Structure formats: structure tokens, C-alpha cells
Amino acid sequence: MLFPEIEPNEKGMLNVSPLHSIYWERSGNPYGLSVLIIHGGPGGGSSPSYRRYFDPKKFNIVQFDQRGCGRSTPHSELEENTTHHLIEDIEKIRQLLKIESWHVFGGSWGSTLSLIYAIQHTEKVLSLTLRGIFLCRQHELTWFYQKGASEIFPEEFDLYQSVIPLNERGNLINAFHKRLTSQDRSERTQAAHAWTRWEMSTSYLKPKELSINKATNDNFSDSFARIECHYFINNIFLEENYILKNINKLKGIPVSIVQGRYDVVCPMRSAWDLNKALPTSKLYVIDNAGHSMKEIGISKRLIELTNELANSFSNL
């Protein structure tokens, strides 16, 4: 169902500040429709599998690792790591590659950052293809990290909160942040594993061991947990409900939303709210799916949408 595996045509490190360097790569057809893939987390890093959702003969596919994760350096760094910095980095990559405007594709936190980028740089965005909508409102964070998803996956939630003393469980994000920024490496690693396992174990309709096992990778879990927690304790460095408050700026952009009905990480309410606030958007609900883009129904719909994109824009 996915397009064949391909290697990048071009890759590099972009110095975006004296501290941070961003890894980027380009694959597919350099003369095709330019698309930017924005990964999740924050702190998840991009993956070669993401470009397999695009026909490499028709798309100029750009990927990058956000600050502090994947192949970007320094690893797990929280200094100079905010939503504003990430938006600036996207623009620097676009300018480096001499791309006038592009299609944007992102899921989970990638949907958040895609929407914020489109709000702030509307003229640079040709379309948005989004999956697993996360608007980063306070109740969404509470649902997943404190009380909500806990009622659906109680056994995994107990493992998640087990690394936090009982007297600190009233605010788990705060408690995890304290440990993920600790100088005690063993405490930090234990917290990173627990935080990462919680998300990996709830991302599919039927949990997958391969996904859960990512939590035991110290390198991945450290950047994933630290950077996510850093953003969420700071409310992603934006005012509450920033995206919906600025949604009118997206009225001229084609927006497609793919949402798993049983997404526990980013429940369907957020996709519903986005679609209602942006009536020109198209919402595709996948009834037999959870959160991951690898869920069969979600993958199928995303590929259908990127094929439609290639056909509609190549005919202009």
C-alpha cells in the first residue's frame, strides 16, 4: 500500500542558532510538488517511512528533525527550544531549499505545528493534510496525561504513574518535568521510559509490542519525553486555544483531516472542533483505527489524499 522505500537525494545540517543544528533531507522528484512533512512529539523525530505516503515521481519531499531530536543537535536540548523557534526553523529550511510555497503534511503534534505554521505563514502553504488532530488545549493535555485515557488503558496508566510518588500524582506533567530535567541520570531515564511507554502503548487500536518497545531505547525516549514535557508544561509557548482563535487565517487553504475514531492519544473531539471551525475543511473519520498513521485505514486514506493532491495540483 505504501510507496517503495527510497533514499534521500540530498541531506544536510542547517545551523539555525549558535546552539542548534537541524537535520534535513530531500527525496523524490526535485521538480515535483514540494511537500513538507512535520513529525510528531515534539521530540519524535522524522522517519524514512513517512516519505512512503507520497508518490516519489510526483513529489519533492522535504523532512527534518525538530530541535533536540532525531539527528538534530544537541540531543535532548531544551534551551532555545520553543514553538516560535520551530516555526522559524521551518522558514529557514524553505529558504535554504529555495521553495516558494509548499504543501504541508503532519500528524499528532505534527498537525499542531502545521496549523500554527499555516496561521503565521499563510502565503507559503498550498494545502494542509493532517492526521490525529492535537490542538494542545489544556483539557487535551489533562485527558492524556492526568485523567481520561487512564480509564481506557488503566494497566498502562498505572505503569506510567508508578515512577511518581503518590503525593505528587495530582499534577503528573509537573512531576515528570521535575524528573526529566533532573541531574540524576537514572531518575531521568526511568521517567523517560515511563512517559514514552504510555504514549507508545496507547497509539494503536490494538497495542503493538514493536511500538511499546521504542520506550526502552534510551536515546529516543530521552528526547521524546523531555521535549514533549518541556512543551506541555509551558502550554506550547502560546496562549490557550491559539489555533482555533486564529482559524480564520486558514480559510483560503485546502485542509484535509484524517482522524481515527478510537484515537486515545488525540481524541476525535479536536478533529471535530477543527472541522466545525473551518467548514471548508474535509474530515475523514476512520472507524476502525486509533492514533497511529500506520493504522491500515489511516494509511490508506492518507495515500488517497496525497494522490488526489498530486493530480489536482499538477493539472493547474
Residue 82 has pLDDT above 60, yes or no: yes
Average pLDDT over residues 38-43: 98
The answer to whether residues 119 and 260 belong to one domain is yes
| pLDDT higher than threshold 90 for residue 211 | no
Query: Does 169 fall in a domain?
Result: yes
Residue 222 has pLDDT above 90, yes or no: yes
The answer to whether residue 4 sits within a structural domain is no
Is 1 part of a structural domain of the chain?
Answer: no
More confident residue, 210 or 250: 250
pLDDT over 50 at 62, yes or no: yes
**Can you give the pLDDT at residue 1?**
85
pTM over 0.85: yes
Q: How far apart are CA 235 and CA 216, in angstroms?
A: 27
Same domain, 123 and 259: yes
Same domain, yes or no: 199 and 111? no
86 located within any domain: yes
Last-in-domain residue among 218, 236, 254:
236
**Domain assignment of residue 2, yes or no:** no
| pLDDT at position 315 over 70 | no
pLDDT digits (tens, 9 = 90+) for 112-128: 999 999 999 999 999 99
Query: pLDDT category, 58, cuts 50, 70, 90?
Result: very high
Same domain, 45 and 150: no
Does any domain span residue 3?
A: no
Which of 189, 212, 236 is where one domain is finished?
236
- 31-45 average pLDDT score: 98
Cell of 25: 533531507
Spatial strand order in the sheet of 102-108: 10-15, 21-28, 59-64, 33-38, 102-108, 125-133, 255-260, 282-286
Q: Which of 34, 72, 108, 270 is catalytic?
A: 108
Looking at per-residue pLDDT, the higher value among 218 and 207 belongs to: 218
Whether 118 and 260 share a structural domain:
yes
Looking at residue 213, its pLDDT comes to 87
Q: What is the CATH number of the domain that holds 262?
A: 3.40.50.1820
Let me know whether 167 and 188 are in one domain: yes
For the question of residue 85 being annotated catalytic, the response is no
If asked whether residues 223 and 264 sit together in one domain, one would say: no
Average the pLDDT over 82-102 and give the result: 99
Domain boundaries, position 121: 10-136+239-314
Mean pLDDT of 221-248: 99
Residue tagged active-site, from 230, 263, 292, 299: 263
User: Lowest mean pLDDT: which of 89-103, 164-178, 206-220?
Assistant: 206-220
Give me the mean pLDDT over the 96-121 stretch.
99
Number of structural domains found in the chain: 2
Catalytic one among 223, 270, 291, 292? 291
Per-residue pLDDT, averaged over 186-214, amounts to: 93
Least confident of 207-211, 248-252, 306-310: 207-211
Q: Per-residue confidence at 52, pLDDT binned at 50, 70, 90?
A: very high
User: Does some domain include residue 35?
Assistant: yes
Q: Are residue 89 and residue 41 in the same domain, yes or no?
A: yes
The answer to whether residue 5 sits within a structural domain is no
Q: What mean pLDDT is reported for the chain? A: 97
Same domain, 183 and 288: no
Q: Is the pLDDT confidence value at 316 over 50?
A: no
pLDDT at 176 over 70: yes
291 flagged as catalytic: yes
Mark whether 263 is an active-site residue.
yes
Q: Are residues 147 and 102 in the same domain?
A: no
Query: Are residues 176 and 122 located together in one domain of the fold?
Result: no
Q: Is the peptide bond before 8 cis (omega within 30 degrees of 0)?
A: no
Task: Write down the pLDDT at residue 18.
Answer: 99
| Claim to verify: residue 29 and residue 117 sit in the same structural domain | yes
The domain boundary residue, chosen from 169, 201, 236: 236
Alpha-carbon span 73 to 35, nearest angstrom: 24
What pLDDT is recorded for position 314? Answer: 67
